[in-house]
Amino acid sequence: MDMVNLKINNVACSVPAGSTILEAARCAGIEIPTLCYMKEINEIGACRICVVEVKGARSLVTACVYPVNEGMEVFTNTPKVRAARKTNLELLLSTHNQDCLGCVRSGNCELQKLCRDYGVDKTNAFEGEKIDYFADDSAVHMIRDNSKCILCRRCVAVCAKWQGVGVIGAVERGFNTHISCAFENPLGDSSCISCGQCIAVCPTGALTEKDDTDKVWDALADTRKHVVVQTAPSVRAALGECFGMPIGTNVEGKMVAALRRLGFAAVYDTDFAADMTIMEEATEFLHRVKEGGQLPLITSCSPGWVKYCETFHPEFIPNLSSCKSPQQMFGALTKTYYAEKMGLNPADIVVVSVMPCTAKKFEVGRADQSAAGNGIPDVDIAITTRELGRMIDRAGLRFEDLPDEKFDDAMGIASGAGHIFGATGGVMEAALRTAVEVVTGKEATPLDFVEVRGVEGIKEATYQVGDLPVRVCVASGLANADKVLTAINNGEAHYDFIEIMACPGGCVNGGGQPIQPARVRNAVDLRSARAKALYDEDAGMALRKSHANPLVKEVYASYLGEPGSEKAHHILHTSYVKREKLY
C-alpha cells in the first residue's frame, strides 16, 4: 500500500494514499468537527465546519474532501480556523429554530454541541431570515420540522444511496432552500417506506420519530386494561447507549427490570415470536419446494422492506412469505392463545412493542393484522428504543443501577435463533437451523451458518439440506435489495430463499435505535458492535434452535396444531397489496 507522509499540527504521520485530511487527522488522534459529512455517503464539503489551514494554500480547505499529499503541513486548531468555524456556526444558527429546551434532541444535538464548543450563543452576530415552516406530521412514523434543518443533506443521501428510495431532496434557492418531497407534497403522500434511516443520521431535531409514549403512559394508567410489552432482539443490544454504556452492551436484564418498574403487567421477549416465525416460514419454504410454489421465498419480517416491495417491486409480492413479522405474530398470539389461557378479553389487552424500527409504527396499522377479529389490532402501540429510553428517564429509573431480571415465562422463552433475528443474516441462519433438521431428521452440525453473517450488503451461499441444494441470498439496505431483485429479473441470479432487511446491517441499525453523532458513526461500525451482542448471547445458550423451544412446542401442541395448519395460518399469516409509486 502506498503511503503519504505529512505533518498535522507539527506532528509527523503517515497515511494511505488517497486519504483525506479528515481521515489522516483521525489516524493521528485528532477529531476535526463535521456536520454534513458521513463516510462513504455524504462527502460534499457543504457545511464548512471541518475547515483547516494547509501551508501554502490561499484559503482554508474542507478536510472531509481535501486529499493529502506528500510533505503537506496541516493545522487544525489555529485562531483562523477556530474563528472560521465559529462564524460558520453563527450563520447556521442565524436561521435556526432555537427552541432547544423543547427539542427531543437537546443534549444529543451535533449543532448544539459545536455551538457550545465554539462559544456560540443565542445572541450571535447574524440575524438570518427565519421562515415559518409547518411541521410535517403526515407520515405515520415521523415528524419533519424544516425550521431546525441545517441543510446538511445527510437525510437526502441515505434515502437515495442506502435505501434507493429518494423521496426527499433540496428545493428552492438562497434563504428559501429546504428539504422537501417532489412538488412540496407531504411526506405521508410520498413513497417513503418508513425506515427512519433519515432520522438516525440527522444531526439536529429536524427529523424525529412520532413519540407515542403518552399513549403508553395512558394505557398503563387505565386500570381496565391489561398492558403487556414485548421487546425486539436488537433493543437489548442498543438501549444501554441511551444511558452512556458502551456500544454493543447487552442490557437485557436491566431492560426487563426497567419495563417491570414502568408498570407493565407482563414483560415478554419478541424472540419467542421470532421462533414461531421460523416454524411457519421454514414450513412455508419446504412446502413451496415440494409443491412447486413461487420461489425464491423472500422473508417478510421487515415492514420497511415489505412496503418497498409493494411499491417498487410489486412483481415480487407472490414471493413474499405470508408470515407476519415477529412483532405482529406476538401480538396475534397474545390476543388469541394468551387471552384464552389467562381468561382475558382480547379487547382489554394492550400490546406495546419496543422496536429498533420506525416502520413498525406503520406496520401496526396495516390491514389484515387482526387475529382476534372485530377490528382488534394485533399490536396496539409500537415505540422505538429511543422512546423507551425517554420513558425510563421520565420515570426516574437509574438504569445502570437496576438489577438483572428475566422475561416472564408465559411468552418469554426464546432460543438463540430468535435472538440473532436482529442482525442481517440472522433470519436466514435461524431458518436454516430448523430446515436442515426437519428435512434430514438429524442434528445440524455446526449450527453456525457463518457465510450469511457479517455486514456486507449482499451475501450469497449454497447449503445442502438433505438432497436439496438451497441457494440463499441475504441483502440489507434497500439499494442492495434492488440490485438483487433486478439481477433476478434479468436472469443473472437464481436463488431459492432470500432474506431482506430494510436497514443496512439489519435491525441492529434500525431507524429507531439510539442516535450516535457522526464522529462516532464515521469511526465505529455500529452494525457489527450491536450484532456481536446478539451472536454472543446465542453462542452462550443451550437452546439455539427455534423448533427446540419448549414454549413453541406447547403452543402448537395445545393451540395451533402444527406449523402451517389452518389455525396457524389464520392467526400468524397475512397478505400484501400493490401500492402506487409516488414521489
Q: Which of 184, 209, 234 is the last residue of a domain?
A: 209
Describe the crossing of helices 478-489 and 303-312 by its angle, rounded to 10 degrees: 40
Which residue, chain included where needed, has cell 416460514?
281
Average pLDDT value for residue range 106-116: 96
What's phi and psi for 350, nearest 5 deg? -115, 120
Contact of 526 with 534, CB cutoff 8 Å: no
Task: Quote the pLDDT of residue 124.
Answer: 65
Q: Number of folded domains in the chain?
A: 3
Look at residue 373 and tell me whether its pLDDT is greater than 70: yes
Whether residues 168 and 230 share a domain: the answer is no
Whether residues 339 and 205 share a domain: the answer is no
Q: Which of 140, 175, 209 is the last residue of a domain?
A: 209
SS3 581: coil
Contact of 87 with 80, CB cutoff 8 Å: no
120 located within any domain: yes
Q: How far apart are CA 114 and CA 120, in angstroms?
A: 8
Task: Quote the pLDDT of residue 379.
Answer: 98
Q: Give the DSSP letter string of 369-412.
A: --TT-TT--S-SEEEEHHHHHHHHHHTT--GGGSPP----GGGT
Where residue 1 falls among pLDDT bands split at 50, 70, 90? confident
- The alpha carbon torsion through 167, 422, 322, 489 (nearest 10 deg) reads 50
Whether residues 48 and 124 share a domain: the answer is no
Whether residues 400 and 499 share a domain: the answer is yes
**Cβ neighbours of 577 (radius 10 Å):** 12
Nine-digit cell at 533? 451482542
Q: How far apart are CA 481 and CA 492, in angstroms?
A: 14
9 or 123: which leads in pLDDT: 9
Look at residue 157 and tell me whether its pLDDT is greater than 90: yes
Q: How far apart are CA 27 and CA 18, in angstroms?
A: 14
Give the chain's end-to-end CA distance (angstroms, integer).
45
Q: What beta strand segments (E) does 142-279 contain?
A: 142-144, 169-171, 178-180, 207-209, 226-231, 266-269
Report cis status (omega within 30 of 0) of the bond before 296: yes
579 located within any domain: no
Where residue 131 falls among pLDDT bands split at 50, 70, 90? confident
How far CA 325 is from CA of 8, 281, 402, 439, in Å, comes to 51, 10, 31, 24
- Between strands 61-62 and 73-75, the pairing is unpaired
Q: Which of 158, 185, 209 is the last residue of a domain?
A: 209
Whether residues 394 and 283 share a domain: the answer is yes
Nine-digit cell at 436? 436442515
Nine-digit cell at 496? 431459492
Contact of 420 with 433, CB cutoff 8 Å: no
- DSSP assignment letter at 121: -
Look at residue 215 and tell me whether its pLDDT is greater than 80: yes
**Cβ neighbours of 404 (radius 10 Å):** 11
Residue among 558, 546, 548, 564 nearest 276 (CA): 546
86 located within any domain: no
User: Alpha-carbon torsion 278, 279, 284, 290, what sign?
Assistant: positive
Whether residues 72 and 103 share a domain: the answer is no
Average pLDDT value for residue range 509-532: 97
CATH of the domain at 145: 3.30.70.20
SS3 95: coil
Task: Quote the pLDDT of residue 123.
Answer: 65
Where residue 583 falls among pLDDT bands split at 50, 70, 90? confident
Residue among 142, 140, 255 nearest 200 (CA): 142
580 located within any domain: no
Whether residues 69 and 108 share a domain: the answer is no
Contact of 508 with 237, CB cutoff 8 Å: yes
236: containing domain: 214-572
**Cβ neighbours of 103 (radius 10 Å):** 19
Residue 254: exposure state from Cβ atoms within 10 A (0-12, 13-18, ≥19): buried
Residue among 411, 425, 424 nearest 550 (CA): 411
Task: Quote the pLDDT of residue 137.
Answer: 97
CATH of the domain at 60: 3.10.20.740
Task: Quote the pLDDT of residue 406.
Answer: 97
Whether residues 30 and 142 share a domain: the answer is no
What's phi and psi for 151, nearest 5 deg? 60, 35
Tell me the pLDDT tens digit for each residue of 467-485. 899 999 999 999 999 999 9
Tell me the pLDDT tens digit for each residue of 400-456. 999 999 999 999 999 999 999 999 999 999 999 999 999 999 988 889 999 999 999
Where residue 466 falls among pLDDT bands split at 50, 70, 90? confident
Contact of 192 with 227, CB cutoff 8 Å: no
> What contacts 559, CB < 8 A, 6 or more positions away?
336, 337, 340, 567
**Cα-based angle 555, 561, 566 (whole degrees, multiple of 5):** 120
Which residue, chain included where needed, has cell 477556530?
82
Number of residues assigned to the chain: 583
Q: Give the DSSP letter string of 507-522.
A: GGG-TTSPP--HHHHT
Q: How far apart are CA 26 and CA 197, in angstroms?
A: 25
> What contacts 580, CB < 8 A, 6 or more positions away?
311
Whether residues 70 and 101 share a domain: the answer is no
SS3 150: coil
Task: Quote the pLDDT of residue 357.
Answer: 97
Contact of 268 with 228, CB cutoff 8 Å: yes
Average pLDDT value for residue range 487-494: 98
Q: pTM of the full predicted structure?
A: 0.96
Q: How far apart are CA 193 and CA 500, in angstroms?
A: 14
Look at residue 570 and tell me whether its pLDDT is greater than 70: yes
Look at residue 128 and tell me whether its pLDDT is greater than 80: no
- DSSP assignment letter at 100: -
Average pLDDT of every residue of the chain: 96
Q: How far apart are CA 201 and CA 162, in angstroms?
A: 12
Whether residues 289 and 154 share a domain: the answer is no
Whether residues 34 and 110 share a domain: the answer is no
Tell me the pLDDT tens digit for each residue of 113-124. 999 999 998 766
263 located within any domain: yes
> What contacts 181, CB < 8 A, 6 or more positions away?
167, 168, 187, 189, 190, 583
| Widest CA span in the chain | 80
Task: Quote the pLDDT of residue 444.
Answer: 84
For the chain, percent of residues with pLDDT exceeding 70: 99
Contact of 330 with 411, CB cutoff 8 Å: yes
- The alpha carbon torsion through 420, 421, 423, 425 (nearest 10 deg) reads 100
Whether residues 179 and 231 share a domain: the answer is no
383 located within any domain: yes
Sheet containing strand 497-501, strands side by side: 297-298, 497-501, 468-476, 458-465
Task: Quote the pLDDT of residue 402.
Answer: 98
Task: Quote the pLDDT of residue 349.
Answer: 98
521 located within any domain: yes
CATH of the domain at 241: 3.40.50.1780
582 located within any domain: no
